[in-house]
Amino acid sequence: MPRWGWVILGALVGFAVVMWLTRWLSSRRVGTIGVVDGRLHPCPNKPNCVSSQATGAHAIELFRFDGPPTRAWQCLIEVLRGFPRCRIVTQTDCYLHVEAWTPIFGFVDDVEFLLTDDAIHLRSASRLGYSDLGTNRRRAEAIRHQFEQRCRDASRVREP
């Protein structure tokens, strides 16, 4: 094999090792998820997180609904079960933790939802890295869009 062939092979192997290590690191859960004093954890000082309980660059609109909160919650769960590259990890009567992964490299993000009497708060954050190039915001907006299409009037949601 010519010398340049070994260089290309070495670069490909190195890239594969780095990608495997990055995926492995991003698959490990961090301790900054869950509810504390009735609120989701604040976003870290990195541009890879959005939250409906944040201000400034991290802020994102919460999910609003009409009708009973339990029906809106059930409808959100149905939306998430059909959403690509998402898996519900923790589900209670008022809290959801979802793992979502990016399509190409498979980086794992944590998406959380907190139900209140008149809205659903969300937080979406990357587990690894500094910037997510807007992935968490786009995903949260896509979930909100589907929620609004199917669940805005929660009185139309069928009972489980």
Confidence band, pLDDT 50/70/90 cuts, at residue 23: very low
Three-class DSSP category at 86: strand
Burial class of 95 by CB neighbour count within 10 A (0 to 12, 13 to 18, 19+): middle
103 close to 85: Cβ distance less than 8 angstroms: yes
Mean pLDDT of 85-110: 92
Q: What are the structural domains, with CATH classification, of the chain? A: 3-156 (3.30.310.80)
Count Cβ neighbours within 10 Å for each residue of 109-122 and write b for 16 or more, e otherwise: bbbbbbbeeebbbb
- As a whole number, mean pLDDT of residues 77-91 equals 96
Stated pTM of the model: 0.78
pLDDT at 158 over 70: no
Written as six digits, the tokens of 39 are 């609120």
3-state secondary structure of 3: helix
Joined together, the tokens standing for residue 105 give: 């490299």
Residue 2's pLDDT is 80
d(C-alpha 140, C-alpha 131), whole Å: 16
